[in-house]
Amino acid sequence: MDLTRNTQHDEGYAGHSLHNLIYCSLASPDMDPAEIHKIIATAKHHNPRYGITGLLVFGSGIFFQWLEGPKDNVTSLMKIIGDDPRHLNVVVLSEEDEIRDRLFPDWDMELVEAAEIGDVLENALKEASDDKQKQMLAMFLQQLKLA
Ligand SMILES: Cc1cc2nc3c(=O)[nH]c(=O)nc-3n(C[C@H](O)[C@H](O)[C@H](O)COP(=O)(O)O)c2cc1C
């Protein structure tokens, strides 16, 4: 992976704005569950160099990821992740600019097993204002009920 621009670390640099982004997606039906550990290993390898922290939630074939770090790096990483064939229907649920603090400053990328992913999705659906987001969240919830 090569996030060519802005590869320094983060908010310690003057004028460097911290950004966060949350998305969810469906794991590809043919994804081997062992891939999740490879994804985490890759993230733990790359993310510290780019000042990115966060967490990855996986449950019932659904991913949720929280990314935080310098805006350019989060945006570039999100493009790479979005093109990854191990998941589909990537929907950005929330994006915030100029956040003050990291929520997960010590986590290069932690895997959270999501027994409660249904609650997380229901809450996200309640909060969502965008029709496309609502539609995708409803689809994820439906998928969860089938799983
Ligand atoms: C759900 C999901 C989450 C991912 N999260 C990260 C991440 O936080 N950091 C990262 O470097 N790669 C992440 N990846 C992997 C990237 O899509 C990509 O495969 C990787 O960055 C390429 O690294 P490489 O060029 O060293 O093989 C994720 C992939 C998926 C499917």
Nearest CA owner, ligand 1 atom 31:
86
Instruction: Determine the 3-state secondary structure of 28 from DSSP.
Output: coil
Query: What pLDDT shows up at residue 57?
Result: 86
Ligand 1 centroid to residue 142 C-alpha, Å: 26
Nearest CA owner, ligand 1 atom 27:
1
Fold for 18-115, please state it: Alpha-Beta Plaits (3.30.70)
Sorting pLDDT into bands at 50, 70 and 90, what band is 107? confident
- 80 in contact with ligand 1, CB cutoff 6 A: yes
Measured distance CA(133)–CA(18) in Å, rounded: 24
- Cα atoms in the Cβ-side hemisphere of radius 13 Å centred on 67: 32
Q: Is the pLDDT of residue 7 over 60?
A: no
Mean pLDDT of 42-56: 94
Do 14 and 70 meet the contact criterion of CB atoms below 8 Å apart? no
Using one digit for the tens of pLDDT, what is the confidence trace for 116-143? 677 777 877 887 777 877 887 788 788 7
Q: Which amino acid is at 87?
A: H
Domain spans in the chain, listed from the N-terminal domain onward: 18-115
Closest C-alpha to 102, from 76, 70, 127: 70
Helix, strand, coil fractions of the chain, as percent rounded to 5 = 35, 30, 35
pTM of the predicted model as reported, rounded to 2 decimal places:
0.81
At 39, list the tokens: 């994804």
Using one digit for the tens of pLDDT, what is the confidence trace for 70-101? 999 999 999 999 999 999 999 998 888 887 77
